[in-house]
Amino acid sequence: MIKVKPGVKFHHVSFIQPEVLRIIWIAQLTAPPEYEITITSGCDGKHVVNSSHYKGKAFDFRIRDFPEKYSVQTWVDMMQRKLGDCYFVLRESNHIHVQYNG
């Protein structure tokens, strides 16, 4: 199951490009089975200038409630492998940032 943090906004591009929607699908596919993924940012929030978020090509996923018996870095690595070179997956202090670079 995937939850969306209240107030998160999505760019219309996110839903018309299958490559962008693939981020959410792969996140769910690779997450621990009992973990409910939460999207914490779409095109909202404060990001660096020219961020893929503002173009509708990036999502952030919460990790503060990630199960302790699993490794967040393993999840990051699995997503990167499954998504491939056209994507960028980065663990940040309180979330995982995933963007489509195509």
Q: Which domains does the chain have, with CATH numbers?
A: 2-100 (3.30.1380.10)
Task: Please identify which residue in the block is written with the tokens 């503002």.
Answer: 54
DSSP 8-class letter at 16 = T
d(CA 101, CA 57): 8
> How far is the CA of 52 from the CAs of 29, 44, 48, 71, 91, in angstroms?
22, 11, 9, 26, 16
pLDDT value of residue 2: 86
Q: What is the pLDDT of residues 34-90, one digit of tens each?
A: 999 999 988 777 776 677 877 878 999 999 999 999 999 999 999 999 999 999 999
pTM of the full structure: 0.89
Cα dihedral 83, 100, 3, 48 sign: positive
